[in-house]
């Protein structure tokens, strides 16, 4: 299936997607230029944890955020095909393509290589603002660079493709058949020491539903690149044109009469409010506003809150636990001065000086990398 640069989700697909990360948008061809309808921001708060239309996916209940590490049982799930039936005892991963020699590695061999361990926040590329398509875990595995070095990479290689074991009927795209979920990343990213094949999650063997026994883990990039149930690593000299590379998880922007497409790249700076929930009724006493903030290629240095819709700001307190590619918890004890209705807004700043945008960029026509400011409307009595 070829990419038509005028393809982007229609307003109905967009609305459905914002009600849940698990309802992936259908790409439809739309000629000409028109604005895309968006639901009111309040509709994206308090979203369902799962949807009957996507039984293989589940959000983290972000309102219950209370620890830096997300337990495996609560970590969000996103799958197009569900957990495949696997022969874990004989699991292998093969490095092939533009290499000096194909190499196949069994799990016991991977365990003997030097370990890499990272605390990394994974966010689904389509996570709506204010929802739970994001979680934080401690990952352990082997560096992809170690395997590539043993296979010997061709000097002309430019990217690698992670190929999973899950495939079949893609119900979110009208039932087309897909051989396997696969995504590519630049070779330069693959060679970073932190890019790994993970086989442990929060000090436990990687659970089946999270890609066990082996998954790619690409720190700082959206979860779409961290392919689960990994079977092959293909080193390539040319741009990968697999179905999910062409038809999902990219950014398209409106530039005049043209739609320009680019890769998503690193996770964008974002802060979300865990508590209070939208529509809460609060007392005049102290209420703790709490949440988390994250960024893929920098550290969060500040989270500010506004209680008047973004006109004035106060700085929250950041949690002490942090790693370069993991979220920062934050909190603020708020004592309202008087009863009334308030709009709470959270925005983050990173170590590169980038500030989370207040509003959605209207030129973006794809439902990915959503990072405009999270808001809660509450009443104080």
pLDDT tens, the chain, 381 aa long: 332 322 333 333 333 333 333 433 322 222 222 223 333 443 344 556 666 556 688 999 999 999 999 999 999 999 999 899 888 889 999 999 999 999 999 999 999 999 999 999 999 999 999 999 999 999 999 999 999 999 999 999 999 999 999 999 888 888 899 999 999 999 999 999 999 999 999 999 999 999 999 999 999 999 999 999 999 999 999 999 999 999 999 999 999 999 999 999 999 999 999 999 999 999 999 999 999 999 999 999 999 999 999 999 999 999 999 999 999 999 999 999 999 999 999 999 999 999 999 999 999 999 999 999 999 999 999
Q: What is the pLDDT of residue 17?
A: 35
Q: Which residue's entry shows tokens 């959605």? A: 360
pTM: 0.87
CA 370, CA 38: separation in Å to the nearest integer? 13
Q: What is the pLDDT of residue 45?
A: 46
3-state secondary structure the chain: CCCCCCEECCHHHHHHHHCCCCCCCCCEECCCCCCCCCCCHHHHCCCCCCECCECCCECCCHHHCCCCCCCCCCCCECCCCCCCCCCHHHCEEEEEECECCCEEEEHHHHHHCCCEEEEEEEECCCCCCCCCCEEEEEEEEEEHHHHHHHHCECCCCCEEEEEECCCEEEHHHCCEEECCCEEEEEHHHHCCCCCEEEEEECCEECCHHHCCCCEEECCCECHHHCCCCEEEEEEECCCCCCHHHHHCCCEEEEECCEEEEECCCECCCEEEEEECCCCCEECCCCEEEEEEEECCCCCEEEEEEECECCCCCEECEECCCCCCCCCEEEEEEECCCCCEEEEEEEEEEECCCCECCCCCCCCECCCCCCCCCEEEEEEEC
Q: What is the pLDDT of residue 11?
A: 31
Q: What is the pLDDT of residue 10?
A: 31
Q: What is the pLDDT of residue 56?
A: 80
Which residues, including other chains, have CB under 8 Å from residue 375's CB and lie 6 or more apart?
41, 42, 130, 273, 309, 343, 344, 345, 346
């Amino acid at each position: 299936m070829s990419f038509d640069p005028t393809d982007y989700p229609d307003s109905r697909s967009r609305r459905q997607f914002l009600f849940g990360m698990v309802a992936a948008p259908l790409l439809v061809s739309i000629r000409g230029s028109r604005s895309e309808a968006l639901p009111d921001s309040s509709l994206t708060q308090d979203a369902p944890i799962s949807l009957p239309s996507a039984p293989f996916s589940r959000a983290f209940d972000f309102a219950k955020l209370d620890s830096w590490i997300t337990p495996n049982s609560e970590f969000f799930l996103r799958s197009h095909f569900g957990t495949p039936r696997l022969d874990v005892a004989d699991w292998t991963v093969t490095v092939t393509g533009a290499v000096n020699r194909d190499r196949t590695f069994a799990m016991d061999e991977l365990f003997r290589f030097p370990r890499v361990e990272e605390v990394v926040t994974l966010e689904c590329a389509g996570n709506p603002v204010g929802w739970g398509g994001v979680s934080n875990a401690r990952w352990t595995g082997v560096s992809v660079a170690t395997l590539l070095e043993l296979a010997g990479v061709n000097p002309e290689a430019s990217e690698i493709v992670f190929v999973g074991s899950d495939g079949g009927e893609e119900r979110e795209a009208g039932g087309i058949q897909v051989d396997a979920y696969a995504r590519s990343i630049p070779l330069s990213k693959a060679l970073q020491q932190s890019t790994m094949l993970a086989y442990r999650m929060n000090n436990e063997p990687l659970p089946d539903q999270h890609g066990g026994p082996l998954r790619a883990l690409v720190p700082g990039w959206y979860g779409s690149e961290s392919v689960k149930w990994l079977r092959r690593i293909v080193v390539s000299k040319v741009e990968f044109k697999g179905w999910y590379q062409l038809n999902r998880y990219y950014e398209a922007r409106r530039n005049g009469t043209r739609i320009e497409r680019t890769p998503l790249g690193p996770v964008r700076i974002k802060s979300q409010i865990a508590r209070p929930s939208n529509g809460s009724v609060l007392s005049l006493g102290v209420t703790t506003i709490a949440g988390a903030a994250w960024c893929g290629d920098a550290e969060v240095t500040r989270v500010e809150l506004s209680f008047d819709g973004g006109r004035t700001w106060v700085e929250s307190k950041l949690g002490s636990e942090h790693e370069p590619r993991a979220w920062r918890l934050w909190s603020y004890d708020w004592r309202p001065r008087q009863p009334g209705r308030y709009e709470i807004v959270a925005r983050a700043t990173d170590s590169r000086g980038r500030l989370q945008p207040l509003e959605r960029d209207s030129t973006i026509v794809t439902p990915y990398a959503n990072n405009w400011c999270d808001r809660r409307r509450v009443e104080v009595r």
